[in-house]
Copies of this chain bind each other. A is one copy, B any other.
Amino acid sequence: MIDTSQNLPPRLAEGGLRVVALGGIGEVGRNMTVFEYDGRLLIVDCGVLFPEDQQPGVDLILPDFRAIEDRLEDIDGIVLTHGHEDHIGAVPFLLRLRADVPVIGSRFTLALLAAKCREHRQDPVLVEVTERERRSAGPFDLEFFAVNHSIPDALAVAIRTPAGLVLHTGDIKLDQLPLDGRLTDLGGFSQLGDEGVDLFLVDSTNAEVPGFVTPEREIGPVIDNVIARATQRVIVACFASHVHRVQQVLDVAVKHGRRVAFVGRSMVRNMGIAGELGLLNMPENLLIDLNDAMELPENEVLFVSTGSQGEPLSALSRMARGEHRQISIRPGDTVVLASSLIPGNETAVFGVVNGLARLGAHVVHQGNAKVHVSGHASAGELLFLYNAVRPSNVMPVHGEWRHLRANAALAIATGVAESQVVLAEDGVVVDLVDGIARIVGRVEVGHVYVDGLSVGDVGESTLSDRLILGEGGFISITVAVEASTGRAVTPPTISGRGFSDDPKALDAVVSLVEMELSRTEAEGITDTHRIAQIVRRVVGRWVAEKYRRRPMIVPTVIPV
């Protein structure tokens, strides 16, 4: 179904709409979709991706902006569907390229973005919108619809241009008993369906999962049940943006006469914002400062903490290692991880769970109690969406290939023609022309890495070196040679890092290198690069034979 050739996209046909994801298709994270009409651009979401094993040392992965770098002035706006990092995290990096792009989103989403931008010392142009509001950005006529997700105030966006009507769900689920009563606007979607949706971009995250997501409000009684039995301290960890999850924890705390302290920078910050916006309901005096909380009897306090993904520097990880400055876990304490287990984080999360269990805590997590529900529509809910919207063309977004394929199958099951389901990935150019969506080419996209303060200087070659170094360390051989003769003027200095704990591990290779250097001298080789190459080969062969390992071999030949 997908043309994997690297053909450059043709000129967009007049009156057509172009869609290119610069991130978020073929992967989960760094969502960013660019729409083009009549020479103007609209961006929906601009998020980050968190690195995996194969990207060691990387802090964040950004969408690849190259395709729009020369067209910054054509951008009429960035629509943010909601405030999760994988939808807003890369905005400051885009604003570095052009500071005054209007950022359009709901109140809570923009509040989270503003806090993030303050950390980057940016003051973006914010355009607040709300559900069922209509507003244009250049030639794009936008309409917003309430959707339910694991963060408040999420929106789907309908984009009308003369090319047709596009609906982008953002992240979505169909909780029919949402805590805040704010349902996904299936009625609105249905009206759009009546009008005729030409292209439907749909969240694929849970398309493989059959059935329906359990309502968020069913978590409350489970947590209640756990806390009712707790006689000592209780710590609940969850995502710092999951206001409704935290709300339920607060309600339970009130019920059991426990005061609440927020632990962890992002938890304190986000709950502050949520409180200011009236998204958290609680009695006055429920909240207490962490230091004051330490003075309360153990059964009168509850900590709501970050660290549910096993982040090594988080408060919870520190507690699990017995290294938290204030909170030390005692046998009989209760810890609840009211959170998902993001693939890739298992080892870290279970490391925390085991650390807590070793210290004697009673640890409740997704694996032994229903303390988490997903924020993304399962297959059953996606069917409701397709049947409400009745789209002509479908483009699964937000997902790895397994998710995209599963989502495509659901669209087809509801009657969308297989030929009108566009399976794209990052960089694939999809044009909607005369009501038909088709893949027409590709733009180049890659991973853009943030490591420390700089963006983009760490690339595939650096990562590939890191992977080699991380697996096998390196052996360095340094020798000074007489520039004119190539004669070694010092014995070779050979040392390894990350190679062996045995200080004599490399002793045997010294004489081999010396022999080789005598040979190069005898042959009159004076080119230091060539000598270095020869040394590299000798040491590499020796280590492969003797140890069957592949450290990086780093020869340095200095002419003196």
A462 partner, pick from B57, B350, B355, B498, beta carbons under 8 A: B498
Are B469's CB and A499's CB within 8 A? no
- A453-B402 contact, Cβ under 8 Å, with A346-B346, A347-B53, A558-B478: no
A53 partner, pick from B53, B401, B454, beta carbons under 8 A: B53
Q: Which residue of B is nearest A490, CB measured?
A: B558
A319 to chain B, nearest CB (A): 14
Q: How many copies does the complex hold?
A: 2
A528 to chain B, nearest CB (A): 10
A350 to chain B, nearest CB (A): 6
A210 to chain B, nearest CB (A): 8
Q: Which residue of B is nearest A463, CB measured?
A: B498
- A57-B501 contact, Cβ under 8 Å, with A347-B52, A452-B548, A558-B478: no
The segment out of A110-118, A259-267, A356-364 that lies at the interface is A356-364
Which residues from B are CB-within-8-Å of A443? Answer: none
A residues 439-463 near B (Cβ < 8 Å) are: 451-454, 457-463
Are A56's CB and B560's CB within 8 A? no
A35 to chain B, nearest CB (A): 25
> How many residues on the A side are at the interface (Cβ–Cβ under 8 A)?
77
Are B560's CB and A498's CB within 8 A? no
Asked if A179 is an interface residue, CB under 8 A from chain B, the answer is no
Asked if A169 is an interface residue, CB under 8 A from chain B, the answer is no
A470 partner, pick from B208, B451, B466, beta carbons under 8 A: B466
Are B402's CB and A350's CB within 8 A? yes
Interface string of A459-486 (1 = CB under 8 A from B): 1111101111111111010101000000
Cα distance, A498 to B464, chains bound together (Å): 7
Are B462's CB and A500's CB within 8 A? yes
Cα distance, A358 to B425, chains bound together (Å): 10
Which residues from B are CB-within-8-Å of A343? Answer: 346-347, 350
Are B476's CB and A402's CB within 8 A? no
Which residues from B are CB-within-8-Å of A56? Answer: 470-471
Cα distance, A467 to B215, chains bound together (Å): 42
Cα distance, A469 to B471, chains bound together (Å): 9
- A358-B462 contact, Cβ under 8 Å, with A56-B470, A57-B472, A549-B451: no
Which residues from B are CB-within-8-Å of A458? Answer: 500-501
- A473-B466 contact, Cβ under 8 Å, with A400-B354, A501-B461: yes
Which residues from B are CB-within-8-Å of A463? Answer: 498
- A459-B501 contact, Cβ under 8 Å, with A344-B347, A368-B406: yes
Cα distance, A495 to B462, chains bound together (Å): 13
Asked if A554 is an interface residue, CB under 8 A from chain B, the answer is yes
A426 to chain B, nearest CB (A): 12
The listed residue with most B CB atoms (<10 A of its CB), out of A363, A453, A458, is: A458
Which residues from B are CB-within-8-Å of A478? Answer: 478, 556, 558
Asked if A489 is an interface residue, CB under 8 A from chain B, the answer is yes
Are A473's CB and B480's CB within 8 A? no
Are B469's CB and A497's CB within 8 A? yes
Asked if A353 is an interface residue, CB under 8 A from chain B, the answer is yes
Asked if A96 is an interface residue, CB under 8 A from chain B, the answer is no
Asked if A367 is an interface residue, CB under 8 A from chain B, the answer is yes
Cα distance, A353 to B208, chains bound together (Å): 12
Cα distance, A493 to B558, chains bound together (Å): 8
A84 to chain B, nearest CB (A): 21
Cα distance, A368 to B53, chains bound together (Å): 25
Q: Which residue of B is nearest A348, CB measured?
A: B53
Cα distance, A307 to B177, chains bound together (Å): 43
A405 to chain B, nearest CB (A): 5
Are B470's CB and A547's CB within 8 A? no
Cα distance, A532 to B453, chains bound together (Å): 27
Asked if A546 is an interface residue, CB under 8 A from chain B, the answer is yes
Asked if A380 is an interface residue, CB under 8 A from chain B, the answer is no
Q: Which residue of B is nearest A492, CB measured?
A: B558
- A505-B402 contact, Cβ under 8 Å, with A208-B367, A343-B350, A451-B549: no
Asked if A559 is an interface residue, CB under 8 A from chain B, the answer is yes
A552 to chain B, nearest CB (A): 6
- A547-B454 contact, Cβ under 8 Å, with A478-B558, A493-B558: yes
Give 9 nearest A-B pairs by CB, closest first: A470-B470, A452-B548, A469-B469, A465-B498, A459-B501, A357-B401, A57-B471, A466-B498, A452-B549
- List 7 additional contacts besides A465-B497, A478-B478; criterion CB under 8 Å: A209-B367, A344-B346, A452-B548, A462-B499, A465-B498, A466-B498, A478-B556
User: Can you give 16 contacting A-B residue pairs, CB < 8 Å?
Assistant: A53-B347, A57-B473, A57-B549, A210-B368, A343-B350, A354-B402, A460-B501, A467-B470, A468-B498, A478-B478, A478-B556, A480-B560, A489-B560, A490-B560, A556-B556, A560-B560
